[in-house]
Homo-oligomer: A and B are copies of this chain.
Amino acid sequence: MALAVVGLVATPAPPQADPPLLGFTAASAVRQRALETEFDRGLSADTLRTWMQRMTRLPHHVGSPHGRANAEFMADLFRTWGYEVAIERFDVLFPTPRVRVLELVAPTRYRARLAEPAVPGDATSRLTQDVLPVYNAYSADGDVTGELVYVNYGVPEDYVTLARHGIDVRGKIVIARYGGSWRGIKPKVAAEHGAIGCIIYSDPRDDGYAEGAPYPAGSWRPEFGAQRGSVVDMPLYPGDPLTPGVGATATARRLPQDSARSLVKIPVLPIAWGDARPLLAALGGPVAPPAWRGALPLTYRLGPGPARVHLRLAFDWRLTPAYNVIARVRGRELPDEWVIRGNHHDAWVFGAQDPVSGMVALLEEARAVGARMAAGWRPRRTIIYAAWDAEEPGLLGSTEWAEAHADELRTHAVAYINSDSNGRGFLGVGGSHTLERFVNEVARDVVDPQTGVSAAERARARRRAQGTREADGSGDLAIAPLGSGSDYTPFLQHLGIPSLNVGYGGEDAGGEYHSVYDSYEHYARFGDPTFAYGVALARTAGRVTLRLAQADVLPLRMSNFAVHVARYRDEVTALADAMRQETERRNALLGDRVYHLAADPTRPFVPPDSLPPVPHLNFAPLQNAVTRLEQAATAYDAALAARGLPADSATGRALNAVLLRVERLMTREAGLPRRSWFRHQVYAPGFYTGYGVKTLPGVREAIEERAWAEAEQQIAIVAATLEGVADAMTRARALLGGD
């Protein structure tokens, strides 16, 4: 049978007339394209490879000697390329393990190894100096022994399922598998339910042999490979736990550690499936529901017991210096408008994929921009390249910098463009919907290395093939709203700066995440063997940066934003309706004893609680605000299409000033309920999802938590916020003149 294998050699896209660029006059667009052609010529895959080898040869977590060396190495590079460079230091709380003991003490004994063995063909896996062992940063110290309970992914609905089986985790140690939420949710929810300890393991179904051959035969997580990671309560506030809202400078006022609300309340430890298997095999109790079963060759049971576990953890709770590298080129025309482009440089161990694959693409981008600067070019606006430290423990480097410079950033920042891990595959973009059309233009203008079509066309093909939502009402490829998980969070959600997260992936086989095996060898075999996608990222993020820096008027398009917000409005109203129906159904079933009659009387069973009925909420303020927003955005687009950009520079500047501040109008000083650090009213990480986004979070989470009075308050707040955005668009429309 003939296999239609798509060639690896990129064939160039057919020539076409250049379409206009959002925010550019026709003349400016011609100049911009010429600049981008020169920029592309400055990019090389070889540099990426060389830098990755150098930066990943030793462990480089925050506080490590090689982490500092990497910062200085990058600072030197930036200086060479003509940037003004500063290494900005913050002193952050960063615990490292002193004691890690995990034992099964009954009904049999097993002592967990808690170590990732060296493997052939992976040079750095043999190193031990400075290697952080497997742990969860910001776990509590503790020495606990208790019966074990399996809690699936350990998210709130899993505890509902346990309760239906009559299982309570109070005084117990829970074991959760990775997946289903950001890891920090698991110990947080476990502690809320009274558990005294938490173990998180990598099940081979989600992250191991079920997906492919384990490393080093294939890429996937081996028997004793484990996932490090932070469990700080990032959805409460990210950054240094001791300095919420302010930069962790040498003189900053710090909370006493026991007042730091983002610290986990119980000891928590990540382990490999090789260590988890004896624990899970020792569990009794009800058989886990089908969706809870992993790929280990055993009957997954819920417990509690007879497995009893002893968990002892102690940490060095030290202030550690984090080194952010900040490289700046001052804008020639608009030096007070800043375009910020960042990637973190710290890793859990060697971090070839996470974060060096993205970091070296940023460096290469900055080098190619520097080459233009060496030829006498300067950007219209100021460009700032940032290499963040201490992202892994909880976005510390970026957050402390954003907090330390909050006032300047609120005044000057045009946008923040983030990248992180990168690999072979499809362009993925998340971010502010105001930038959606702009990003679509960039993706249209970057060629996919493997297929020769544009990155946009390939990304769209993937969504079409998968049958997932492809585009919003505007016809543009939809970009995903951002929750958390990388350094955009302080810029977007604390400061209201339009932000993007850009990267390629989906054809890079995984399995190395946060393990000692995230090495150069692994990346060069499975991540992006030719580094072509590193170059593609530099081309993509470089265009984003350069177009934002050069645009005549900031390239925001509010009608894309309005389309998404209207959808989020529909979602939250549908959510309330669905909860009302589900509540009525449940209460009717309880009234008819249906749960009792449907249950197996020989097994423990607890019916769900009856619930107060879901009231009808007054969504009218939100409906009205969205309608106004849609009208104002459409009117602005129509006027722009009819008249083009303002001819006189004073009007242009005035329009620019309105657009510069429009995302700031989406924030509220008071922040979200119970987490004032998060100020954006449209995007937030979910309080119980962690990385996963909640849009219109004040309203959505109030509904999810059945806080009906709060939901109505939040509807009013979000409505007022969106009215403010609509007002700004009306002002912008007026600046374009005409009727």
Binding site for B on A (CB under 8 A): 1, 3-8, 166, 168, 204-205, 209-213, 218, 287, 290, 293, 295-300, 425, 450-451, 453, 457-458, 461-462, 464-466, 507, 589, 592-602, 604-607
Contact = CB atoms under 8 A, between A and B. Distances in A.
17 contacts: A1-B606, A3-B605, A4-B606, A4-B607, A5-B601, A209-B297, A210-B293, A210-B300, A296-B297, A453-B597, A461-B594, A461-B595, A461-B597, A462-B597, A464-B592, A464-B594, A464-B598
A428 to B, nearest CB: 14
B293 A604 contact: no
Contacts of A458: 597-598
A383 to B, nearest CB: 33
A464 B295 CA distance: 31
Contacts of A290: 210
Which of A209, A297, A604 lies at the interface centre, i.e. has the most chain B CB atoms within 10 A of its CB? Answer: A297
A218 B287 CA distance: 11
Which of A5, A296, A592, A597 lies at the interface centre, i.e. has the most chain B CB atoms within 10 A of its CB? Answer: A597
A606 B6 CA distance: 10
Given A3-B606, A5-B601, A5-B604, 14 more contacts: A1-B168, A3-B166, A5-B605, A210-B300, A218-B299, A297-B297, A425-B600, A458-B597, A461-B592, A461-B595, A462-B597, A464-B592, A465-B589, A465-B595
A596 B296 contact: no
Copy number in the complex reads 2
Contacts of A218: 299
Contact of A166 (B1, B6, B166, B450): B1
A713 B297 CA distance: 52
Among all A-B residue pairs, the 5 with the closest Cβ atoms: A461-B597, A465-B598, A6-B601, A297-B297, A462-B598
Nearest to A286: B212
B3 A457 contact: no
A348 to B, nearest CB: 26
A600 B596 CA distance: 50
A299 B213 contact: yes
Nearest to A462: B598
A589 B464 contact: yes
Contact of A604 (B3, B464, B600, B602): B3
B596 A212 contact: no
A585 to B, nearest CB: 8
B589 A210 contact: no
A466 B168 contact: no
B507 A602 contact: yes
A64 B387 CA distance: 80
Contacts of A604: 3, 5
B299 A210 contact: yes
Contacts of A298: 209
A7 B601 contact: yes
A51 to B, nearest CB: 25
Nearest to A599: B6
Contacts of A3: 166, 604-606
Nearest to A451: B597
Given A461-B594, A464-B598, A597-B457, A299 B4 contact: no
Contacts of A466: 598
A8 B602 contact: yes
A419 to B, nearest CB: 22
A167 to B, nearest CB: 9
Given A457-B597, A597-B451, A297 B295 contact: yes
Contact of A596 (B4, B211, B606): B4
Contacts of A602: 8, 507
A601 B166 contact: no
Contacts of A453: 597
A507 B597 contact: no
B461 A593 contact: yes
Which of A592, A600, A605 lies at the interface centre, i.e. has the most chain B CB atoms within 10 A of its CB? Answer: A600
A366 to B, nearest CB: 30
A287 B605 contact: no
A297 B204 contact: yes
A457 B597 CA distance: 8
A597 B463 CA distance: 11
A5 B212 CA distance: 44
Nearest to A448: B597
A299 B511 CA distance: 14
Contacts of A300: 210
A626 B7 CA distance: 55
A601 B607 CA distance: 51
Contact of A600 (B205, B507, B592): B507
Contacts of A425: 600
A453 B602 CA distance: 17
A3 B297 CA distance: 31
Which of A297, A300, A464, A598 lies at the interface centre, i.e. has the most chain B CB atoms within 10 A of its CB? Answer: A598
Contacts of A600: 425, 507
Contacts of A601: 5-8, 450-451
Contacts of A599: 6
A42 to B, nearest CB: 27
A596 to B, nearest CB: 5
A461 B595 CA distance: 7
A166 B4 CA distance: 9
Contacts of A296: 297
Which of A287, A290, A592 lies at the interface centre, i.e. has the most chain B CB atoms within 10 A of its CB? Answer: A287
Contacts of A210: 290, 293, 299-300
Contact of A287 (B8, B211, B295): B211
Contacts of A457: 597
A133 B212 CA distance: 36
Contacts of A595: 461, 465
Nearest to A464: B594
Nearest to A453: B597
A4 B706 CA distance: 26
A271 B209 CA distance: 24
A290 B295 CA distance: 11
A186 B1 CA distance: 23
Nearest to A9: B601
